[in-house]
Amino acid sequence: MQMSKLYAPTLKEDPREAELASHRLLLRAGMIRRGAVGLYSYLPLAWRSINKIEDIIRDEMEAIDAQEMQVPILTDGDLWHQSGRWNAYGPELMRLNDRYEHEYALGPTHEETFTDLVRNELRSYRQLPVTLYQMQDKFRDERRPRFGLMRGREFIMKDAYSFSATQESLQECYDKQKQAYANVCERVGLRALPVVADSGQIGGDTSVEFMALADAGEAALVYCDDCGFAADTEAATAGVTVADGEPGDMEKISTPGIGTIDDVSSFLHIPASATRKALALVDGDGKPVVCFVPGDHELNDVKAEHAFGEYHLMSDEELKEYGLVKGFIGPVGLPDGIRVFFDESLRPSEWWTIGANEADFHFVHAHPGRDFTIADNAWVDVVTARAGDRCPKCGAPLKEARGIEVSQVFQLGTKYSEAMGATFMDEDGVEKPLIMGCYGIGISRTLQAIVEQHHDEHGIIWPVSVAPYEVEVIPLDVHDELVWPVADKVANELLELGVDVMVDDRKERPGVKFNDADLMGMPFQVVCGKKAVKNGNVELKVRATGERTEVAIEDVARLLAQRVEAERA
């Protein structure tokens, strides 16, 4: 590709709309453009990368017998009514009527469509399992589209659906997809963690999200380097560890004005994790609740809503109203009528330091079961895990990271097949609902996540496997009668060797060319300058490391082709 012909309008200034580095760089490098809010065009360079990501997905899907096809984007409203999601989905589902006033939705996901497709056609256990997938634009009317391709209203997704006769077969389809997703992440150059999104009733995970690690990620994660455990702090129970107090008889001590965790911790010379934070709140039913959590951990809003409904923390007035003493609340001697809960992580702790429900006093050596009781149903999981907590799988200390959800695998079971009457005849002659799984990869989001992980202050650094072009040849002076023929020759040799190559044949100054090359981020640059060429050489620059070497003109294409081939994945 000659750059003089390429449609890739670069920007010198940072575009205002972009908050993330990846978003900014994709805009600046002339790879994406915003149409309306949350709606992006993929310009030729980005589109090449999208195609390469899709090819890698295709390859992984083919290896596990998943079959590519395509269903319409317009999905019949009737199907959404059958599954019950027409009403459940809310304003994110984009809806429209046709000229005959029939209802349609723009597919945000296609469980209904695929279930409808196979019902009456997958009729026998002998035809199962089947996994079908597509790569297609999806639609979600985000309340607040942002971060470029990260949270758009139209985005490219690979969605797969498996249909099985047995739970074992579903598990097998699910495991294969999970492995394929891990492979895809690796092959496109994404450092990603498979995060357990929830645990099944029958043990094992039934949903895993692949999180690309990035400081700009919307999800907060903890993970274990030792055993590979990873969890979303918003969703999963991490093994929060707390320090214990000293054994002894419960003793009331004077703590004048010592009403915060930090103060208690300093005053008593104990770690914050050995203190207990008391959270007073009014739950979704309007009832007063006190919940105790480790002093060094925060209440997690999502988990707390799960436990208490639409709660709010008590105001000073409410604390007074319920007879609670701000800063000194503890489980011993709480006023009547207040329900008490304890975070799961406190279970192992035997000796507690707690507020005395009296201004300026605490209890030490309080012992659950002896000094206060904890009902069996009082345990809740409400805090956010954090670095240093113990891995619930292996006990090693967890690390913290932020992540971008790029894909998810999910065991659906019979939710859709039952609702929509998609059954098959089993070996035993009994009609049963198909057992389903669904598996999604955000392709456009993956593209941006790759850039978020692979860039520096100068621009993008594409992994070879998904680079729009693998090599950029840069003749510093296209009019020079020595330089241009060399650039042309090297580019042609590379092409013949099957390398994706672009040539900066523009009549621009070397500085402009170097800047654009670094901004656009092709993995290898072949710089053809007069001096080197005179000596029979060109300069090879590796974008990722900045490493430069002089290579003989006659060797460079072969050398590069080998290197590209090796890194293609």
- Interacting residue ranges for a second copy, rule: CB under 8 A: 5-7, 9, 33, 35-36, 39-44, 46-48, 50, 65, 67-76, 78, 91, 94-96, 98-99, 102, 104, 106, 113, 116-117, 121-122, 130, 132, 136-137, 139, 141, 143, 153-154
CB of 123 to a second copy, least distance (A): 9
Residue in the structure block whose two tokens are 């670094």: 518
Pairing of strands 471-475, 524-528: parallel
Strand (E) or helix (H) holding 285 = none
CB of 130 to a second copy, least distance (A): 5
Structure tokens at 464: 């070879």
Judged by beta carbon, residue 41 or residue 260, the one nearer a second copy is 41
CB of 152 to a second copy, least distance (A): 9
Judged by beta carbon, residue 7 or residue 545, the one nearer a second copy is 7
Judged by beta carbon, residue 99 or residue 479, the one nearer a second copy is 99
CB 516 within 8 A of CB 16: no
CB of 519 to a second copy, least distance (A): 16
Judged by beta carbon, residue 133 or residue 322, the one nearer a second copy is 133
Q: How many residues does the chain have?
A: 569
- CA 378 to CA 510: how far, in whole Å? 69
- Residue 464 DSSP class: G
CA angle 90, 95, 98 (to 5 degrees): 155
**Which residue from 115, 64, 72, 109 is spatially nearest to 88, judged by alpha carbons?**
109
Judged by beta carbon, residue 47 or residue 379, the one nearer a second copy is 47
Strands (E) located in 140-246: 154-164, 192-199, 205-213, 219-223, 230-232
Judged by beta carbon, residue 117 or residue 544, the one nearer a second copy is 117
Judged by beta carbon, residue 32 or residue 188, the one nearer a second copy is 32
CA-to-CA dists, residue 88 to 80, 81, 85, 395, 550, angstroms: 9, 10, 5, 40, 63
CB of 503 to a second copy, least distance (A): 13
| Sequence-ordered list of residues with C-beta below 8 angstroms from that of 72, at least 6 positions apart, any chain | 107, 113
CB of 509 to a second copy, least distance (A): 15
CB 56 within 8 A of CB 465: yes
Phi and psi of 450, rounded to 5°? -60, -45
- CA 170 to CA 435: how far, in whole Å? 7
CB of 117 to a second copy, least distance (A): 6
- Residue 345 DSSP class: G
Judged by beta carbon, residue 229 or residue 439, the one nearer a second copy is 439
CB of 257 to a second copy, least distance (A): 50
